Structure formats: structure tokens, C-alpha cells
Amino acid sequence: MEWVRINGSYGEGGGQILRTSVALSVITGKPVKIFNIRANRPNPGLRPQHLHGILALKELSNAKVKGAEVGSTVLEFIPGKAEPKHVRVPIKTAGSITLVLQALLPAMAFTGGSFEITGGTDVPWSPPVDYLKNVTLFALEKMGLKVELELKRRGHYPKGGGLVTGKVEPWEEMKPLVALEWDRMERFGGISHATNLPAHVAERQARAAKERLGELYSAPVEIKTEVSRSLGPGSGIVVWAETDSLRLGGDALGKRGKPAEVVGREAADELLGQLAPKKAVDRFLGDQLIPFLAFAGGEIGVAKITNHLITNVWVVEQFLGKIFEVKGAVGGPGTVKTVRRGLI
């Protein structure tokens, strides 16, 4: 048995190395040993939010796993036969549901199946569920992957309690994605939400974002507002630009003492910054697309080459060999092109 050995402290050195490595282990059938897990972080080793993604992939692929516990700095994952399943992931905190899906979706693309995940839907340091649904899945659909995702309940830090369900159709037709630059702005969309808070919070976030976007672009802006109940209070907004290529996004979270208008403007400014280089893909979507591009092929222009993207390229190539050509310096705009498709 030949192991793929992954240094978990490489590059950006975070949880993404784990998510992509274990997903690719399931897809390729190759066992993986990840060492030095998050070695350069203040609290090294596996954290609870990483475990949930690993355990979900263990269930999907009937894998044998060693070292899957909080604080572990070495993980051994030996996949079995992956098959379509209904995978339940009960995160009992506000651990990010979307980060679990970053691990699960690439693998599930090859099996199909459904999922039900509880935890955090709108939490710091991870993509909000509205971004995943309206920006990421929009791009994946262009690549031939159909994912249904339903937000049943919001979950904010620190209590969580969010619920997301969905299903993935087996990825039968892999369409190359060529998305280099956008030329025409068609419209802006968005969702502004307030949970266990007055309706005016969501409305003020939306109004401030709409005003800011309108200062630079004349395209129509439609930001929906949503008021809901869950375990704890929270608010946030995701805005996206629908161009003649893909969608680019921006988001912001509310917190105690932060005016709703500031939250709305923050999300709009994030999006405006992504649009400025005229590239088709924003900096968040760039690294999320890497595992899918490896198999579908194509070329994307990214508003910002991030360490996350470079690290994800490196992980993919440990499993599949040379796949990508990245042009541009970290921190600036660039392109990512596949020189060949990964085969399984």
C-alpha cells in the first residue's frame, strides 16, 4: 500500500490541507498520511471543526482512520469503497457547515448522495452559506455539477444550531470552465438576514449595501431581506455581482455594537474590491474551484492569488501529478490553467 504523504504545515498550513487531502483520498482511492497538522498555528493539531469533515468522508467511503481526534497532529486515512449515502454531520457548536461541505462536495461529486449538517451557517473565517449557494454552486453548475442546497435554519457564533440539507447528483458530464475576465455587469443580488433581531437590522444592512454599490455601477440591485429565529442572535449580508461570466461575491457579519449600515457597506466594499481587477473569479471562489478544475479542466482569472489557492494546488498535485499552471504573484490578480485533467 503506497501512501500519499502530506505535510500539514505546508504553505497556508490550515484546515484546508486536511479537507482537500481527505476528499482526494476518497476520490482516488489512495490512502493518505497527513503529518505536522496545523503545526504553525497557536493551537496545533486537529480542531473539532476539522474532525467533522474527516468523519463525514469516513462515512461516505467506509474508510479506516487513525488519529481522528482533537489535538492530533498526524492523521491516517485509508478509504474503502465510496458509495452514495445520506451523510449526517451533527456539529454541536457553531463549527462551519460550509467548511465541512468543502470537504464533502468534491468527494460526493463522484458518488452522489445527500447530506444533513447542523452547526454554523454564518460564522467568522468561513464562507457564509448564502455565498456557497449563490456563488460557488453557480460556478460548479457551469462545470456540470448539480447540487441542491437548502438552508433550513441559521446558526451563528457561539451557539450554532444552523441546519443545512441537500443532495448531490453524480457528476456525469464534466465541463471545462473557461472564465478569465468579465466584460458586462448584469445585476447585483444579495441576501441580508437578521436572526433573533429586529427586522430593521436586515433592512438597514441591505439599504447601505445597495447605496454603496449604486455609487459605482448603474446595474440593478436586488437584495432580499430575511428575518428568522434560531438559538442565538446574529446578522449578516452576502452580495454578489452577476456578470457575463460568473458571479463574484462579498460578505460581512454583524456583531454587537457594529451598526447595520457598517455591515452593509463592508460587504459592498468587499465585492467592489473583487470586481476592480475585472477577473471572472473572486479570491474566495478561486481556491474553492481548484479540486473541481483538476478533473473538469479549464482556465480561470482570479481577482487575487491567495495562499489558500497556492496550497490547494499543491495538495491536488500530490495526488494527481502536475495539473496546474498558475500565473501571477500571491496578493495580486492572476490566472490558473489546467495543463491536463486529473484521471482516477
The one-letter code for the residue type at 231 is: L
Order across the sheet with 234-243: list the strands: 221-228, 185-195, 234-243, 247-253
Average pLDDT, the chain: 96
Q: CB neighbours of 31 closer than 8 A, spacing ≥ 6? A: 1, 2, 3, 4, 25, 76, 77, 78, 79
So what's the pLDDT on residue 314? 97
Query: Are the C-beta atoms of 143 and 174 separated by less than 8 Å?
Result: yes
101 pLDDT band (50/70/90 cuts)?
Answer: very high
pTM: 0.97
> Rounded mean pLDDT of 195-210?
98
Grid cell 456578470 is found at 243
Q: CB neighbours of 175 closer than 8 A, spacing ≥ 6? A: 142, 143, 144, 296
Beta-strand relationship, 75-78 and 64-66: antiparallel
Four-residue CA torsion sign, 36, 122, 308, 319: positive
So what's the pLDDT on residue 85? 96
Query: The C-alpha cell of 264 is what?
Result: 452593509
CATH code: domain 84-173 is 3.65.10.20
Q: Is the pLDDT of residue 1 over 80?
A: no
Nearest by Cα to 155 from 87, 90, 199: 90
pLDDT digits (tens, 9 = 90+) for 26-84: 999 999 999 999 988 888 999 888 899 999 999 999 999 999 999 999 999 999 999 99
> Rounded mean pLDDT of 144-161?
97
So what's the pLDDT on residue 262? 98
So what's the pLDDT on residue 88? 96
- Alpha carbon distances (Å) from 208 to 15, 89, 119, 130, 215: 34, 36, 29, 18, 11
pLDDT digits (tens, 9 = 90+) for 313-338: 999 999 999 999 999 999 999 999 99
The one-letter code for the residue type at 98 is: T
So what's the pLDDT on residue 284? 96
What's the gap between Cα 208 and its chain centre?
A: 26
Grid cell 483538476 is found at 294
Grid cell 446595474 is found at 219
Query: The C-alpha cell of 139 is what?
Result: 460556478
CATH code: domain 182-275 is 3.30.360.20
Query: Are the C-beta atoms of 268 and 161 separated by less than 8 Å?
Result: no
In eight-state DSSP terms, residue 181 is: B
Query: The C-alpha cell of 167 is what?
Result: 443532495
115 pLDDT band (50/70/90 cuts)?
Answer: very high
Compute the distance between CA of residue 158 and CA of residue 92 in angstroms, rounded to an integer: 10
Q: CB neighbours of 170 closer than 8 A, spacing ≥ 6? A: 84, 109, 110, 111, 112
Q: Which residue ranges make up the annotated binding site for ATP?
A: 102, 284-288
What is the chain's length?
Answer: 344
Ranges in the chain annotated CATH 3.65.10.20: 84-173
Q: Which residue ranges make up the annotated binding site?
A: 102, 284-288
So what's the pLDDT on residue 134? 98
Nearest by Cα to 81 from 112, 104, 111, 103: 111
Compute the distance between CA of residue 44 and CA of residue 59 in angstroms, rounded to an integer: 25
Compute the distance between CA of residue 82 and CA of residue 73 in angstroms, rounded to an integer: 25
210 forms beta bridges with none
pLDDT digits (tens, 9 = 90+) for 247-299: 999 999 999 999 999 999 999 999 999 999 999 999 999 999 999 999 999 99
Compute the distance between CA of residue 332 and CA of residue 302 in angstroms, rounded to an integer: 9
Q: Is the pLDDT of residue 344 over 90?
A: no
Which of the residues are catalytic?
308
Query: The C-alpha cell of 109 is what?
Result: 461529486
